[in-house]
């Protein structure tokens, strides 16, 4: 009996100390088995097997020996007084102090302080005490906050607080994973916090608005030439762009007139030539207009802005616009550097120890950009390592990406390329890991290289990119525009038509509100049917900096992050 009384408490202590351990056994891979089928048979995730077997291929060969779980028990910790909240962790092969600290969201100093034995080095099988990282409190002195309770829905919250679902997502990006009980949501900035400046219409209906629309209609080429007329009717690319932009601008002018504005318009055919522009400067009263929209091509708009006093709006983006500026030229399209800065600032703000991969193409011209981006990433706090992957003949090997992914933590993949093949190869490989790894794909913008990429693939990767344009066909204003455009022109509007409407409507409304184009552009940010405008002045140059971040959710919604 004496021996029994001694053994019982000892067994109880042992059970408390080892209740969280897992029992494993060796397993020989059979022909035709995959890591997924093995995980399913043992009722665990692929991610768990990868943690248990570092370096194991997702497609293990037959007869490969690996560890599989036999029994998994619940974690039990004996209660002690004055014990810091912590969890126990067994060190696995190939792990590092930095990797463990990053996994649990703490720093190495905190990890060492909780485990003095680490001063003698990290060893496989070592049991560590992991201090639980406290959650950052929400700044309730800055935001009105709502705690999610049972029965809360997106519709109910937007109705209760009088805001849009889009605004709710903008303040709370974590909602991309759904509404969860106990979640603290930012509702709106409090009054003592500076809110973003938005353009508010303050019209003077008595002031006539004078605009000159200068586009390369090239009417002289189709006037009496039946062959050219047939080519025009078939759809000449330049003339199609010009026609669509013109029709969009005309609808904007008609909308303003319907609201009571007096809009006077002069149309000038630039014929896409500097000689014709020079003629118009010499013989037409361009300086009597409040503003000029056009010419279509940036170089000619820049040339014109230096010849007349009237402000000139450049309607489209040009690769040369960053180097060619003028105080009289107003850029409606942001420079590409704005897209890059927007994404990089977001990554810097959100970085919390993610594993970073950068995928680049093989073009020598992109090497300088790659080096600059990598140097900027390394300047982020706590970032330790960046993997740079470059394809061979446009392709990236499956195992190459697999070897660089972190099966435990978050993986950020930044795609720096406009190559179609490289983009497709990267996305196709990454989406194969999306089910078992936490992956987010970033790009500076969603260019033509994404045209053939399915949205389902982008949604599975949480794709995030910067954009100046986003068309929501469910929006009432957009739907009304489409209906009116189709009734008037017997076709649906192209992006060029929508751009013509957005630019013309926005700049004329600002002119009416301020009495001066430059003053009007400084009245704050606005979003029209598709285009975002947020003009900023630097060294006397007014440029549109209106770029926002778009994030794809798993259910294929697109939400604004910032």
pLDDT at 5 (0 to 100): 39
Give me the half-sphere count of Cα atoms (radius 13 Å) on the Cβ side of residue 489. 19
With 0-12 / 13-18 / 19 or more C-beta atoms within 10 angstroms meaning exposed / middle / buried, residue 499 is buried
pLDDT at 180 (0 to 100): 76
- Distance (Å, whole) CA 133 – CA 385: 22
Neighbours of 549 (CB within 10 A): 20
pLDDT at 87 (0 to 100): 81
Q: What CATH superfamily is the domain 22-72?
A: LysM domain (3.10.350.10)
Query: Two tokens at 35?
Result: 């890591």
Q: Are 277 and 303 in contact (CB under 8 A)?
A: yes
Q: Are 89 and 122 in contact (CB under 8 A)?
A: no
Angle at 509 between CA 508 and CA 513, to 5 degrees: 115
- Widest Cα–Cα separation across the chain: 118
DSSP label at residue 448: G
CATH code linked to domain 86-131: 3.10.350.10
Neighbours of 235 (CB within 10 A): 9
Q: Are 294 and 214 in contact (CB under 8 A)?
A: yes
pLDDT at 170 (0 to 100): 77
Beta-bridged to residue 329, according to DSSP, are 312
Q: Are 196 and 526 in contact (CB under 8 A)?
A: no
22-72 against 209-334+474-549: fold identical: no
Q: Are 128 and 89 in contact (CB under 8 A)?
A: yes
Beta-bridged to residue 532, according to DSSP, are 527
Residues present in the chain in total:
562
- Distance (Å, whole) CA 440 – CA 92: 26
The domain 337-467 having CATH identifier 3.40.50.720: the answer here is: no
Hey, where are the domains in the chain?
Answer: 22-72, 86-131, 143-189, 209-334+474-549, 337-467
pLDDT at 466 (0 to 100): 96
pLDDT at 137 (0 to 100): 54
Q: Which residue has the tokens 């309730």?
A: 140
Cα distances (Å, whole numbers) of residue 334 to 199, 294, 313: 18, 16, 13
The domain 143-189 having CATH identifier 3.10.350.10: the answer here is: yes
pLDDT at 77 (0 to 100): 37
Closest to 427 measured CA to CA, from 410, 406, 441, 448: 441
- Distance (Å, whole) CA 359 – CA 401: 10
Cα distances (Å, whole numbers) of residue 349 to 159, 344, 444, 534: 31, 9, 16, 22
DSSP label at residue 173: G
Q: Which residue has the tokens 């409507």?
A: 505
Give me the half-sphere count of Cα atoms (radius 13 Å) on the Cβ side of residue 355. 20
What fold does the segment set 209-334+474-549 form as a domain? Rossmann fold (3.40.50)
Q: Which residue has the tokens 């809009």?
A: 263
Q: Are 320 and 303 in contact (CB under 8 A)?
A: no
Q: Which positions ≥6 away from 473 have C-beta within 8 Å?
A: 479, 482
- Distance (Å, whole) CA 461 – CA 441: 6
Q: Which residue has the tokens 């929400």?
A: 138
With 0-12 / 13-18 / 19 or more C-beta atoms within 10 angstroms meaning exposed / middle / buried, residue 306 is exposed
pLDDT at 264 (0 to 100): 96
pLDDT at 58 (0 to 100): 72
pLDDT in tens, the chain (562 residues): 443 333 333 333 333 333 344 467 778 888 878 887 888 788 777 777 877 787 777 778 888 888 887 654 333 333 333 345 678 888 877 677 766 876 676 777 788 888 988 888 888 878 888 887 555 555 555 677 787 777 677 766 765 666 667 778 778 877 876 787 767 888 877 653 444 577 888 777 888 999 999 999 987 665 544 444 444 444 458 889 999 999 999 999 999 999 999 999 999 999 999 999 999 999 999 999 999 999 999 999 999 999 999 999 999 999 999 888 899 999 999 999 999 999 999 998 888 888 999 999 878 878 888 999 998 898 887 676 789 998 877 678 888 888 899 888 899 999 999 999 899 999 999 999 998 899 999 999 999 999 999 999 999 999 999 999 988 887 788 889 999 999 999 999 999 999 999 999 999 999 999 989 999 999 988 989 999 999 998 888 899 999 988 999 888 888 777 6
DSSP 295-311: -SSHHHHHHHHTT-SS-
User: What does the CA dihedral 503, 508, 509, 511 come to, rounded to 10 degrees?
Assistant: 130
Q: Are 459 and 449 in contact (CB under 8 A)?
A: no
Q: Which positions ≥6 away from 304 have C-beta within 8 Å?
A: 214, 277, 281, 292, 295, 312
Query: Does pTM surpass 0.95?
Result: no
Closest to 321 measured CA to CA, from 544, 71, 547: 544
Helix (H) or strand (E) holding 420: helix 420-431
Q: Are 430 and 397 in contact (CB under 8 A)?
A: no
- Distance (Å, whole) CA 184 – CA 148: 6
């Amino acid at each position: 009996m004496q021996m029994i009384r001694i053994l019982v408490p000892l067994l109880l202590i042992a059970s408390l100390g080892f209740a969280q351990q897992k029992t494993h056994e060796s397993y020989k891979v059979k022909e035709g088995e995959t890591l997924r089928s093995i995980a399913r048979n043992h009722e665990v995730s692929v991610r768990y097997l990868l943690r248990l077997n570092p370096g194991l291929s997702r497609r293990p060969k037959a007869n490969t020996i690996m560890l599989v779980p036999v029994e998994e028990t619940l974690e039990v910790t004996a209660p002690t007084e004055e014990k810091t909240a912590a969890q126990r962790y067994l060190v696995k092969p190939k792990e590092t102090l930095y990797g463990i600290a990053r996994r649990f969201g703490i720093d190495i100093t905190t990890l060492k302080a909780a485990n003095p034995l680490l001063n003698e080095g990290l060893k496989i099988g070592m049991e560590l005490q992991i201090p639980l990282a406290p959650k950052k409190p929400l700044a309730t002195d800055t935001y009105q906050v709502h705690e999610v309770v049972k029965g809360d829905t997106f519709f109910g919250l937007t109705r209760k607080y009088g805001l849009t679902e889009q605004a709710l997502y903008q303040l709370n990006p974590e909602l991309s994973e759904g509404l969860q009980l106990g979640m603290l949501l930012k509702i709106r900035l409090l009054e003592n916090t500076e809110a973003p400046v938005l353009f508010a219409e303050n019209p003077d209906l008595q002031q006539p608005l004078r605009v000159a629309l200068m586009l390369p209609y090239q009417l002289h080429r189709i006037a009496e030439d039946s062959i050219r007329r047939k080519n025009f009717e078939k759809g000449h690319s330049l003339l199609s762009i010009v026609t669509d932009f013109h029709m969009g601008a005309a609808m904007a002018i008609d909308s303003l007139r319907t609201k009571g504005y007096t809009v006077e318009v002069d149309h000038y055919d630039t014929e896409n030539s500097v000689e014709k522009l020079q003629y118009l400067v010499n013989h037409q009263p361009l300086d009597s207009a409040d503003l000029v929209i056009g010419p279509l091509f940036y170089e000619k708009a820049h040339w014109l802005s230096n010849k007349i006093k009237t402000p000139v709006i450049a309607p489209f983006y040009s690769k040369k616009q960053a180097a060619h500026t003028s105080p009289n030229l107003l850029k409606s399209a942001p420079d590409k550097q704005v897209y890059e800065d927007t994404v990089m600032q977001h990554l810097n703000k959100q970085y919390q120890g993610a594993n970073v991969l950068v995928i680049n193409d093989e073009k020598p011209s992109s090497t300088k950009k790659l080096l600059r981006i990598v140097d900027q990433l390394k300047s982020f706090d706590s970032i330790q390592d960046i993997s740079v992957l470059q394809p061979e003949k446009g392709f990236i090997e499956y195992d190459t990406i697999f070897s660089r992914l972190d099966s435990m933590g978050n993986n950020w993949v930044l795609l720096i390329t406009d190559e179609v093949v490289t983009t497709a190869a990267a996305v196709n490989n990454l989406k194969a890991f999306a089910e078992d790894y936490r992956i987010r794909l970033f790009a500076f913008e969603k260019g033509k290289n994404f045209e053939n990429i399915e949205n389902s693939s982008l949604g599975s990767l949480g794709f995030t990119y910067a954009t100046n344009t986003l068309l929501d066909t469910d929006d009432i204003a957009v739907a009304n525009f489409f209906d009116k455009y189709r009734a008037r022109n017997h076709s649906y509007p192209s992006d060029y038509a929508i751009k013509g409407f957005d630019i013309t409507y926005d700049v004329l409304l600002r002119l009416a509100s301020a009495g001066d184009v430059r003053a009007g552009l400084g009245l704050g940010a606005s979003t029209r049917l598709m285009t975002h405008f947020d003009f900023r002045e630097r060294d006397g140059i007014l440029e549109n900096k209106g770029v926002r971040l778009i994030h794809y959710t798993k259910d294929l919604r697109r939400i604004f992050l910032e």
